[in-house]
Structure 1
Amino acid sequence: MNSIESKFAKECSIGMKWRIKEEVFREALATLNHEAIVSSVLKASSIPGLEYYLYLDSDAVDSSLNINLYLEFKMVKKVKATFTVSVKSANYQRIIVNHISDKTTDWGTICKEVLCARYQILDPKFKFFVDGYMEIELEGTLELVSGIKKKPSRALSLAQLLWKNDDEKDVAFVVEDQLVNVHKWVLTANSPVFKAEMESGMKEAQEKKITVTDFSVEIVKIFVDYCYERDIRNDVNEGNASELLHFSDKYDVEPLHNLVQNFLTDKLAEENVCKLANMSITSNAKELRECCVCFLMKYVGQCAVIDGFSTVDKEITSEIGRRCFLSFSD
């Protein structure tokens, strides 16, 4: 355990009594397949940033009702949970020992147990609801296994700080009847092509407006976000990657060009390799081109059918042909 972890208790107790009114449950029952009934959110007493709550949902496959313990991580990476959840009136009890919850997402982790069949929950003979209420009890411990996270102390870059400063953005892209504003120095620092245009003395430079007709406003906005060092990885997808690759090639934005190539290389598959190979030629994407050639080389000498191969640029097919023969080097 590292030094920051040693500053806190390694283990803490958790517990709650959750009372659910029968009439409230009846109203919610019809939507339990997609909307859970959720308890209050409680904080772990001595493990920083760890919250927990219970919720009920329904399994559409077998019509069961489930009781879930949800652990939400804010500052820790991994905890071990040992707990008991019970409905004493119905003689229901589940004991969970050493359930490891590892933070792999930003949403937390879930421990699910079947509570009962859906038809049982409101049947008086099963005694889940007594005198109009169901009382669910949780008792247990949470143990810190590893990882207290500290927020990064690195200051934002100047570009990131300026991103929201709309008042001083002095250049505008005109695209699809929309204006996308940007600071001139941020723009010119990222693209030598735009830098030359802004220093040309032409109409665009004087009016500080750049009209874009061959790319969509989505692509221009992604580019501007990139200029301000925004994280655009979730904005790049298979639908816009080709256009973004062409944009970054045309305006000589090399890091963005590389980012899109990396994205497309990760998506490389038999059904799209011919399309990506051609795209690599038209967008000067040398790394993507090399990956496409190597991918296609796997099928040389096989009776394989590659959809669209007849449309592949001759530069690609010639390279494949050259690689089929041994070469000598003096």
Structure 2
Amino acid sequence: MAQLFDVTQFIKDSYQLPGIDRPYTVPLAVPGVDKTVHSLIIVNNECLQQYKEFSVNIDVQKIPEIKCKFHGYVINNLLEERIDLNFITNGANALKYDVTVYCINSELKFNFFETLHVKDITLNSFYFFTRKIKAIGQNLINGRLFLYCQITRKDILMPLQLEIPKSEMSKQFSTLYENKLLTDFTIICHDQEFLAHKVVLAARSPVFQSMFEHEMKESLENQVEITDFKPEIVEKMLRYIYTDNIEDLNEADAQKLLAIANKYALKRLKIICMKEISKSVNNVSEALEAFSIADQYNVEEFEERVVQFMKDNRHNL
């Protein structure tokens, strides 16, 4: 069953309207994935009792054009109404629809009325609801009868939907690094050694890729020594390489990490570091200092942002 729309506001808005002789419809939604048309039918019950019947059209489909005509009439001079419907189309079709009607009561609750299963629609196909609606008491809101109608196309298969699980690649690569599984390369930094995987380093860093593609000393010995950075900075870089994420980054570490990211051509990491550095920029002097850092480490995207920052804030700096 298609989801019902909240019609509270539509009904409240109708309170402001004067008595309307003719019934009318309010389209609530065009067909979506479930191929359902939602409409609200509003009938002035006083006028219905005077004229003894009503009819409204609901547009079901544009190509080919199909309309559904609802026809209601009072029976036996009592406050009871029957409803039938007439599908109007340009020709014979093998289409199938489910037509479901709810009556909305004075507490704004949906009371199920009936569902018609319609098929083999022709030029003028008539279908009849078997139940009757009592247009009295709680079934009326401000002297009006509110009918909620769903018309659902049934001859089209619903799409087979499958929810795609959230990617666990980052978590899995983090586990690969943490557990030192199948490592084949060692990074030596002062008195610490970091075990890694050539294929991961090469995929993430053009510098490592070039190192492994040629018969360089590091590639032949399966190790490289880094002496110009502290072990904790090398560790942060490796965690970024494996997870594409940096946690607990502060401005002091950001400048050091920016330098190693530049050395190993980790472009995205450079931008992450510059973003952290830029948080402290509040005046021209600090903006120029940040620009100098970006220029030193070839972060062109940030240089452009600094220029724009100074243009946008020229009256406030």
TM-score (structure 2 length as normaliser): 0.43
Higher relative contact order (CA 8 A, sep 6+): 1
TM-score (structure 1 length as normaliser): 0.41
Structure label with greater radius of gyration = 2
